[in-house]
A and B are shown apart, each in its own frame.
Chain A
């Protein structure tokens, strides 16, 4: 068994275990920390697939940005050490049933689907130069329009966050 295969199963186990802990932990700060582990393992997947730029973006934006934002808002709105109430058995049972049913249905569909043959690709990493050229290209295979739309969206989200969270004068 090569190191790649071993590492894949290690990260897959990390993702599964810590995502379950994220939704079941009764302390909110711990749940946020477990979410951080899940996001870092996902970034490791991207590194293994040789999309290094995407992996770096995942690390900085998700693991570095969003989780810190979530932890900040936890500190602002919750008491540390406070535990959630136990979930009622009925609600937990039916929610688990829904999730389990959906997961089994999806996995059966995946197993039965006839995927086109896997194309052998190079193990070289995707050069960042190519990423930049594609983002700025307006011809075939270029993404300049979504790139610009995203920039407007981020600006709008920034304004929205400031306006909503601002203290109103009475």
Chain B
């Protein structure tokens, strides 16, 4: 734990970050910016896991490892998502979600 910082402050920062990500997910129209909003949300959840681990159960490491695995999953997800985005760009010449409305041409 950090001396002088209650757990609630961490949780509030993570909450704000998560819902900023939700706002970006709803508002943005570009596929890459939507991906960036998802990264924000994943990151805020990671903070929660780590803080719960450190503040409430410091002799165990479940939260720590869960965030480690979430980081790995996020890397895999970004990898595949960007491959798909590049393929979409090749076919439609654009990555706006409104222009990419048909699955098959």
Contact = CB atoms under 8 A, between A and B. Distances in A.
Contacts of A92: 27
Interface string A129-166: 01100110000010100100010011011101110110
B72 A5 contact: no
Nearest to A34: B36
B60 A141 contact: yes
A116 B65 CA distance: 22
Interface string A91-119: 11001101110110011001100011011
B50 A4 contact: no
Given A76-B89, A77-B86, A116-B56, A70 B36 contact: yes
Q: Is the interface of B mostly helix, strand, loop or mixed?
A: helix
B82 A70 contact: yes
Contacts of A45: 10, 47, 50
A146 B65 contact: yes
Given A61-B72, A99-B26, A135-B65, 7 more contacts: A5-B4, A23-B27, A28-B32, A49-B2, A62-B39, A70-B82, A143-B65
> For chain B, which range describes its interface: under 10, 10 to 19, 20 to 34, or 35 or more residues?
35 or more
Contact of A49 (B36, B50, B84): B50
Contact of B39 (A66, A107, A115): A66
14 contacts: A4-B2, A5-B3, A23-B20, A28-B30, A35-B40, A42-B43, A49-B50, A49-B51, A51-B64, A91-B26, A99-B26, A110-B8, A122-B58, A160-B83
B67 to A, nearest CB: 6
Interface residues of A, number: 81
Contact of A150 (B10, B72, B90): B72
Contacts of B54: 49-51, 121
B9 interface: yes
Contacts of B73: 150, 153
Contacts of A118: 1, 6-7, 55-56
A54 B55 contact: no
Contact of B47 (A16, A42, A141, A167): A42
